[in-house]
Structure 1
Amino acid sequence: MEVEKLNNPTWYSLTETHKDFGIDYNGTKFYCPSYCPFGGFIIPDTTQSAIDTYAMLTNNFYVVGDKPNFNSTVRLNKELVCNQMLLDKGIEIEICEHITELRTTKQMVDLFYLVNLVQPGYFKTKTAGLGSYYGIYKNEKLIAVTGERMKMNKYTEVSSVVTHPEHTGKGYAKQLLAYTSNKIIDEQKNPYLHVADTNIGAKLLYEKLGFRTRRKISFWNFVTNDNRKTTNR
């Protein structure tokens, strides 16, 4: 079934819609690190050598799904347990803010700095190239964004649900989530997202908008054990 591909979202994204953004290590696939430091696998025996090779490109990355085999060249820094939440129908709320699709060079710079201000470490220099991103500006300052990250044939991940700390509590995230999710549904795909299991407030917001928890899924964070030089591709 198509929905079972969500058990291994990175691998299937790099096999389907995002196949041109990845590196295939004979059964283990990673995004090029300048786009997204995520990987996934279907052949456990390939993960050790794949992780060793990928660690030459970036010193901090994640494997999504099952726990991979790995060597002492890297260290398992943490297991981030997330709720994987799926939306089955459009979100019917009033959109009262002006929402801008972020396309210009200045808008991309604004996007990069806002996401890394609130959620540092995940959003890379080319992440915005993976999908569409939408934002709300106030007084020419980008204060809230939401966009698309991992993509399969039938599913698109909603990501970077970010509001500037000085502008929270005003419903911006709710409107951007509805706008982005409905755009995905218009493309005949299902929106899904990942939220840390400990982020109770965000989970409650997503549930109110119609997202339901499908399963828990782990993001295994690895860092290199030495000071080797890395190069982003």
Structure 2
Amino acid sequence: MQHLLDNPVYNALNTGNKNIAEGTGNVKFYRQDIAPFAGLKENSKENLSELYEFSQGYGDVFWLVSPVEISLPKPWTLLRCVPLRQMICEQPVFRVPTTIDVVELSEAHIPEMLSLTKLTKPGPFRERTIDFGHYQGIFDSGTLVAMAGQRMHAAPYAEVSAVCTLPGYTGRGYAAQLVLSQVRRITAAGEIPFLHVAADNERAIEIYGSLGFRVRKEMFVYLIKKQEKA
């Protein structure tokens, strides 16, 4: 049987994120102002064609997350394929003291969240990404300098996401503290934290490993774009 996290987007949109899901039984996606991800029940040409048809008006670029190679039928085109490490945390290591105040982020913080993620590029972050909930940040003199939250919720797995720190504030343990804050929240709800990280981001993989995350699977994110039909 396929593991839920082998198809994290589709399973999230059918479980913990179903309140913000669009699509059909075979293809699911978020609104583009929340996240660009789409998920397929099966990685088939038929489902990719269905995604093309049923996502009209929802944007032209989608991100697919898969552990296997995806063959794209026309009129889709591949923009980029990025190798990922999917990491899971079943035995957290709470090694970082919670000495810094962590603030719950609200809609009032959206401009600062967008500015920070635009600068640090932790992954796609849009105007309504906050609708996933659970975003927290650390401030210095009123400036948001670090943040983290949750994204895909393939129950009982919840993804830690948007982990980023303003340049000049790295090396202070802010990211680790925010990740562990999310881990505490997820485990308190009886669920299991996971995350995705670029395969070449060795420093982040090392930090996550020190917090109790382990690599579960090699994954890929495919950035695909619609082309006009001939």
Equivalent residues in 2 for 1:69-148 (5 A)? Answer: 69-93=71-95, 94-103=97-106, 105-119=107-121, 122-148=124-150
Opposite residue 98 of structure 1, the aligned amino acid is: D
Residue 149 of structure 1 contacts residue 158 of structure 1 at CA under 8 Å; is this kept in 2? yes
Opposite residue 31 of structure 2, the aligned amino acid is: C
Post-superposition CA distance 1:157-196 (Å, at most 9, x none)? 0000100112111111111111111111111100000001
Match of 2:49 in 1: 48
1:131 deviates by 2.1
1:88 deviates by 0.6
Q: Classify the secondary structure of the residue corresponding to 2:168.
A: helix
Post-superposition CA distance 1:47-71 (Å, at most 9, x none)? 2231354364223221111444533
More divergent stretch after superposition (61-70 vs 205-214): 61-70
Match of 1:191 in 2: 193
Match of 2:152 among 150, 153, 162: 150
Q: Classify the secondary structure of the residue corresponding to 2:208.
A: helix
Q: Classify the secondary structure of the residue corresponding to 1:62.
A: strand
Q: Which runs of 5+ in 1 are unaligned?
A: 227-233
In 2: Cα distance, 1:92 partner to 1:121 partner: 25
Q: Aligned pair in 2 of structure 1 residues 4, 85: CA closer, same or farther (>3 Å)?
A: same
How many residue pairs are counted as aligned between the two chains? 224
Residue 84 of structure 2 contacts residue 199 of structure 2 at CA under 8 Å; is this kept in 1? yes
Residue 130 of structure 1 contacts residue 149 of structure 1 at CA under 8 Å; is this kept in 2? yes
In 2: Cα distance, 1:148 partner to 1:121 partner: 12
In 2: Cα distance, 1:118 partner to 1:35 partner: 18
Root-mean-square deviation (Å): 1.9
Residue 146 of structure 1 contacts residue 161 of structure 1 at CA under 8 Å; is this kept in 2? yes
Match of 2:21 in 1: 22
Report the TM-score when normalising by structure 1.
Answer: 0.89
Residue 64 of structure 2 contacts residue 222 of structure 2 at CA under 8 Å; is this kept in 1? yes
Residue 155 of structure 2 contacts residue 191 of structure 2 at CA under 8 Å; is this kept in 1? yes
In 1: Cα distance, 2:52 partner to 2:218 partner: 23
1:200 deviates by 0.6
Equivalent residues in 2 for 1:156-171 (5 A)? Answer: 156-171=158-173
